[in-house]
A and B are shown apart, each in its own frame.
Chain A
Amino acid sequence: MAIVKMSNFSLFTFDSDRDELLQELQKFSYVHFTNLKKDESLLEQGLSVLEIPKEIEEVDEDIKDVKYVIDLLKKYDDRETGLKGMIKGKNSFTFEELESKVNNFDYHPMIKKFRVLSERLDKLNQEEMKQKAISDELKPWKNLNYDVRSLKNFSFSSIFTGTVPKKLVEKLKKDMVELQKTYLEVISEGKDEAYILGITSRDEKDVFSEILRNNSYTNLSIPTETTVDEEYSIVKDKLSMLKEERKIAFDEIKGMKDYLSAFEETYDYLLNKKLRYAAEENFMRTENVNVISGFVPTDHVADFKKAVEKTQENVFYLEVTEADKDDESVPIMLNNGKFSESFESFTLMYSLPKYNGIDPTPLFAPFFFAFAGMMIGDLGYGIIMLIGTALALKYFNLDKGTRLFVRFLFYVSFSTMIWGGIFGSFFGGVIPMKALINPATEYQKLLILSIIFGGIHLFYALGIKAYINFRDGKPWSALFDTGFWYMALMGGIVLLLTMTMPLPAIAKTIATVVMAAGMVGIILTGGRDNSSVAGKLAGGLYSLYGISSYVGDFVSYSRLMALGLSGGFISVAINMMVSMLFAKGIIGIIFGVVVFIGGQAFNLFLSVLSAYVHTSRLTYVEFFGKFYEGGGKGFKLFRNKSKYINLE
């Protein structure tokens, strides 16, 4: 349906024209290369693999550098963020604009400058850490008002500086009571240790150091040549100088913050350049000729030919043929109208169709639309969604994926409003409305409605299967796999109805006959792919057993009612709390407003989330399960998905 028609191309071109060709093709972008390396026959014919590791390495290096600069500059990014930033969005460029912009931007010297700056910063940081460590070491000795150098020059005495555990200080003092020519002073105390200075004479030195060792003494040298105070102020000066220097370096970086967007553009351009080189690894070559092959959307073939011709100075050979319908290697590109396009992400998430399959997006989109709205089912919520998404679409410069998602919510808001009207629910009954179906009291009606919707959904899915069979020229399969199931299911449903509803007796007979005929048909044909007769019969019986899963499918649609109902009830419960608060006077009213806005916003978010995931489930399991086989692989544009800009 909406799978884009593809054409296969083979191109022989001279090696010397390759760079320009690829550049032109990247501007054109609708090319998907086939990896020829996988084709072993080409290797046997004497072609060799095209490899350009050097260029890729160079680009990788550049990308790393540019990314490094972006990370450095990002801290000073003062471009608008939040709402204003969203309104402005990313800048848009055509490929030519980007290319010329980046070519005019000489970024290599700037990168070098940044490298130098950040190296300087690293050095400054290291120095700062060193100075801080010194200052930490000095701190305990601040009370010592002597020139430290003089302590080292005694000829008859020895000086000990170091720590002992605080709790051992008393013991230490007791231990040295007998020493006559030894002096000990506690200079300062840390968390667990005491900093001590000991002076002893030569003849008591050994005894003293023995006592110290017994008291867990650790020797520390004081890192200075002058007094501690003096050294301390020197370190302090150094630290403030370092700080100053660092600020200068930062200011220098900050001064270049306006180049951030230029670097971001360069980054996106370089990624594309890398893609261009990487693409070459798909090609094969002889000595002078490159062999290139791939796919182009049939609509774009003329432009593609033009792009190729433009770049070829020498002779070349180009062959373009329509892609074979059953070729599994054809890449898939979907093309849908505005409404269906908003639902394409669900197909992508499941699996793309094969080239000979069908695009299910326009088939499930209307149901998705209806079901999601039914699960939210509140007029007020619908209006909020409509206003929010419409404003976002109009005023925000969104990138493509986000835009599609917002547009999806925009469409669902209409369905939500319609169902909200049917349920008579406006923010859970803030404004009383007349309901066509009141979910709280007529839940049974709603349940039946849900199951009926489920029935339509399932029969529709079976119908699509029949259509595919007809299209592929297999009308018998359509009868076997769809017709018989229609008979069995419809007969069964009518039979069930005759039990609860007063239908004429003849209806029961007809239903029984139709159902039985359908079931017999399923048993006879369900296992037709098996070879032996017994296998066919067993397969048929197994197929019929599949009818039990239909019961599950039908029941599964009760979530349509359940989610609408639970969301509605929570909304009512919030309103109940709010009205209780409102009865409590002015403070109650203030709190009530907060509870109302917070509660309803939370419930809206939860309802939308539930609707999104549960409708996905109905689509994937119940609907796709009946007819859809994915397994196609996506068409990769010859463009990198840009990160910082919009590339057209």
Chain B
Amino acid sequence: MNFGQMLIANGGVLIATLGIVSAVILSGIGSAKGVGMVGEAATGIIIEEPEKFGRSLVLQLLPGTQGLYGFVIGLMAMGSLRVDMTLVEGFYIFLACMPIVFVEYFSAIYQARVSVAGLTILAKNEEHATKGIIYAVMVETYALLSFVMSLILLSAVSF
């Protein structure tokens, strides 16, 4: 059996798993990076004004949700994993994971940037800090949309 034949015989489950782990890995990295960025910036505020911890925590958590969406999609895709999947089925699951792989990674980082900017509102004009939160949430819309799409793709067919 050469490599091509092996791929055709066993590739389905491998490719599907590749999709699942990518979803979890990349959204996780994105969120970790994002949460880290905001955390670093928030630390600077807390030195002088520790009472702003609660609100800065909210801003820090916002880019954290992407990782959770990736995790949920990974979990769902895992449910349809079978050892004897065909290559086509495997590729389908792989592709269904793609929206979440890309959008979650980048949206987490862009959202973190808005959150960092929002921290300056918190630092200088605390009353209006919630507006910074709303700005950051605008970015999350697209993370949610890709989540919905991956979800629909995964549930649309049953192997």
* A→B interface (CB under 8 Å): 349, 443-444, 447, 555-556, 558-559, 561-563, 565-566, 569-570, 573, 606, 609-610, 613-614, 616-617, 620-621
Contacts and interface: CB of A to CB of B under 8 A. Distances in A.
A463 to B, nearest CB: 25
A620 B62 CA distance: 18
B75 A609 contact: no
Nearest to B156: A444
B134 A606 contact: no
B134 A616 contact: yes
Interface stretch (B28-36, B41-49, B81-89, B142-150): B142-150
B151 A609 contact: no
A556 B141 contact: yes
B72 A569 contact: yes
B137 A555 contact: no
Interface in B15-67: 58, 61-62, 64-65
A577 to B, nearest CB: 11
22 contacts: A349-B131, A443-B151, A555-B145, A558-B144, A558-B148, A562-B144, A562-B147, A562-B151, A563-B144, A565-B72, A565-B151, A569-B76, A573-B71, A573-B72, A606-B64, A609-B58, A613-B62, A613-B134, A613-B137, A616-B134, A616-B137, A620-B134
Contacts of B76: 569
A570 B148 contact: no
B130 interface: yes
A617 B137 contact: yes
B130 A349 contact: yes
Contacts of B141: 556, 559, 617
A614 B137 contact: yes
A569 B141 CA distance: 19
B100 to A, nearest CB: 11
A573 B76 CA distance: 10
Contacts of A614: 137, 140
Given A443-B155, A447-B148, A558-B144, A610 B65 contact: yes
B133 interface: yes
B97 to A, nearest CB: 15
Contacts, number: 61
Nearest to B154: A443
B68 A566 contact: yes
Contacts of B71: 570, 573
B23 to A, nearest CB: 13
Contacts of B145: 555, 558
Given A558-B148, A559-B144, A562-B144, A570 B68 contact: yes
Nearest to A620: B134
B8 interface: no
Nearest to A450: B148
Contacts of B9: none
A530 B137 CA distance: 36
A617 B155 contact: no
A556 B76 CA distance: 23
B105 interface: no
B94 interface: no
Nearest 8 CB-CB pairings of A with B = A569-B72, A613-B137, A562-B144, A559-B144, A558-B148, A562-B148, A566-B72, A617-B137
A561 B58 CA distance: 22
B91 interface: no
A613 B133 contact: yes
Given A559-B144, A561-B148, A569 B75 contact: yes
A614 B134 CA distance: 8
B61 A606 contact: yes
Nearest to B128: A349
A610 B62 CA distance: 8
Nearest to A605: B61
Contacts of B68: 566, 570, 606
Contacts of A447: 148, 152
A443 B76 CA distance: 13
B104 to A, nearest CB: 12
Contacts of B65: 566, 606, 610
Contacts of B106: none
B72 A570 contact: yes
A564 to B, nearest CB: 11
A392 to B, nearest CB: 16
B61 A609 contact: yes
Name which of A562, A565, A609 has the most chain B CB atoms within 10 A of its CB: A562
Contacts of B75: 569, 573
Contacts of A556: 141
A419 B71 CA distance: 24
Contacts of B148: 447, 558, 561-562
Interface string B72-116: 100110000000000000000000000000000000000000000
A28 to B, nearest CB: 26
Contacts of B64: 606
Nearest to B155: A443
A621 B138 CA distance: 10
Interface string B124-137: 00001011011001
Given A555-B145, A617-B134, 16 more contacts: A349-B130, A443-B151, A443-B152, A559-B144, A565-B72, A566-B68, A569-B75, A606-B64, A606-B65, A606-B68, A613-B62, A614-B137, A614-B140, A616-B134, A616-B137, A621-B138
